[in-house]
Structure 1
Amino acid sequence: MAEDECIRLLQTVVQRAKPKVQDRDLAMVILFLATGLRASELCNLKLSDVNLREKQIKAVRKGGKEQYLNLNGEAMRALTRHVMAGGQSKNGWLFVSARGQRLRRASVYGVVRKYLRLANIDKGKWGPHMLRHSFCTILPQKAVDPFVIQNLAGHKSLQTTMRYVRIGNNEETEAVSRLEFGIFQPLVEEHSTP
């Protein structure tokens, strides 16, 4: 998804979610977009994994590796609202159903698909992985180093991360223009006619 589609998706959650699940659903969608979490990683989050003071969550990544993920301001606000609304289970799960049960992957997929459909975003493979994909493709557009993206996404291999990095002509032109040494600037000024 492009950045404008991410914004439209978030606006759709804010405008169309039922009040009872709005804080939960917004927190889920923002966490996918702002941290690149996988659906299973989000489902396994517990309240004890949230550190609002440090602005971090602890996620158990693919392969069982724990990783602390920093939260941006929007993710912090959404997660704080969700936590303050008391939408967690007695067993400590961060995201639960209306019956207080831990959300399963299928339910998370259903929630995300619903909002993608309501936002008129149809990319074929709908679901949380599309939001993770957006996380990995938007960051390079914002000049984030591929090694940083690799770490944030929890990829073992940089090669996996590089699948998401698209280099366009504008980026190539910008990269080459950074190599200007200024040697010809004085010559142009000397030979210019008033």
Structure 2
Amino acid sequence: MSENHGYQYNVNKLMLEFPNYVNEYIQSKRVVPLSEASIYEYCLDFRKYLQWLLDGSITNHNQIKEITLQELENVTKHELEDFVLHERLRLESKCGSNAHTSALNRTIAAIKSLYNYLCEQTEDEHGNTYMTRNVSRLIHIRKKSETLHYRAAQLEGKLFLGDETKAFLEFVEHNYENSISNRARTSFKKNKIRDLAILSLFLSSGLRCAELVGINLDDLNLEAGKVSVMRKEGKKDVVPIAQFSHKYINDYFVIRSSIDTEIQAFFITDYDQKIRKISNASINKLVAKYSEAYKVRVTPHTLRHTFATRLYNVSHSQVLVSNQLGHSSTKPTELYTHIVSAEAKDALNKL
């Protein structure tokens, strides 16, 4: 099956609905290249915004494909604020009043990115940009009103710190199947070695979900203990992998190498006798399933936090953690200095 399946396939489908200027934006991001997963998320936000312009009678068309550049440029500040308010209320009803900020910020960022592109990075036959008025500059992203200490406290009970990382993997390997039905056990045994490789790679490298999904067979070098990945904004990186995961990854590598398929993705699924690259959604589900059975339901990003916290507890180096996670500065890693480890608690108890 072609690599076009998955995010690229879904993006291409959405492009059939979009005006040409949106598709030009998408092509420009592929040149960067931005990951197909990120482009897909942006496309969902574009469709949501353009559909809202139709539903609100701000434009008079039957399809979003018909919305013109002039109409997009003429959207007023008040109209864009109405869209943001509409999205905030929708997300609050769906996610709760305290859980919507990040999702709303991502949508606003996507719209800003499109407007910025059309106003600054395009060129018509006269050498002018497609648009000159950028209404999105008048809308600001709301920062989360949380201290790092509060975020750390929220995370602490969800992290598999110390010996729990090893215990979690051993639970999946030896005990998980005892807690499920015979039907579920059949599926588990089929994917057990793959799933252990996925879980251990998250916990030994701190990769993002999209980065793990994007790994191809020839990206792995277990002899050197490293994997090549595509970071955000299309940046290539080589990431070290902790030794404890090598056995799990190598066990799956042997099986994966023997599968006859044109797909180059390292992590694949086999459903209805169709082999395809595993999706972010599938990985989120399997992480939630195993973690909930072990201790508490978490996401792949929580496993990334687990790895980063453990690495900081050992190294006490924000620079090392920042480089490992693929951050361009040490600021995002300040969170891990606020997560109190079991060792630190023991020390505090002795005061």
| Band the TM-score falls in, shorter-chain normalisation | 0.7 to 0.9
**Residue 168 of structure 2: aligned partner:** 9
Cα distance in 1, alignment partners of residues 328 and 301 from structure 2: 17
Where in structure 2 are the equivalents of 1:16-95 lying within 5 Å? 16=176, 18-86=188-256, 89-95=261-267
**Residue 127 of structure 1: aligned partner:** 299
- Aligned partner letter, 1:24: R
Query: Contact 1:12–1:118 (CA<8 Å) still a contact in 2?
Result: no
Name the Cα RMSD after superposition: 2.2
Cα distance in 1, alignment partners of residues 270 and 166 from structure 2: 26
- Aligned partner letter, 1:139: L
Query: Contact 1:137–1:166 (CA<8 Å) still a contact in 2?
Result: no
Query: Contact 1:14–1:22 (CA<8 Å) still a contact in 2?
Result: yes
Where in structure 2 are the equivalents of 1:42-191 lying within 5 Å? 42-86=212-256, 89-99=261-271, 100-122=275-297, 126-166=298-338
Per-residue deviation, residues 36-88 of structure 1 (Å, max 9, x unmatched): 00001111111011113322110111121111112222222111110101276
Structure 1 residues not aligned, in runs of 5+:
175-194
Cα pair distance change 1:157/1:90, threshold 3 Å: same
- Aligned partner letter, 1:141: N
> Which of the two has greater helix per residue?
2
| SS in structure 2 at match of 1:97 | strand
Displacement, 1:114? 0.5
- Aligned partner letter, 1:61: R
| SS in structure 2 at match of 1:57 | strand
Cα distance in 1, alignment partners of residues 339 and 167 from structure 2: 25
State the number of aligned residues.
169
Structure 2 residues not aligned, in runs of 5+:
1-158, 178-187
Displacement, 1:168? 5.6
| SS in structure 1 at match of 2:202 | helix
**Residue 187 of structure 1: aligned partner:** none
| SS in structure 1 at match of 2:233 | coil
Displacement, 1:142? 1.1
Cα distance in 2, alignment partners of residues 69 and 37 from structure 1: 8
**TM-score, with length taken from structure 2:** 0.45
Query: Contact 1:35–1:69 (CA<8 Å) still a contact in 2?
Result: yes
Percent of residue pairs identical: 27
| SS in structure 2 at match of 1:163 | helix
Cα distance in 1, alignment partners of residues 190 and 242 from structure 2: 24
Cα distance in 2, alignment partners of residues 35 and 74 from structure 1: 11
| SS in structure 1 at match of 2:336 | coil
Cα pair distance change 1:130/1:19, threshold 3 Å: same
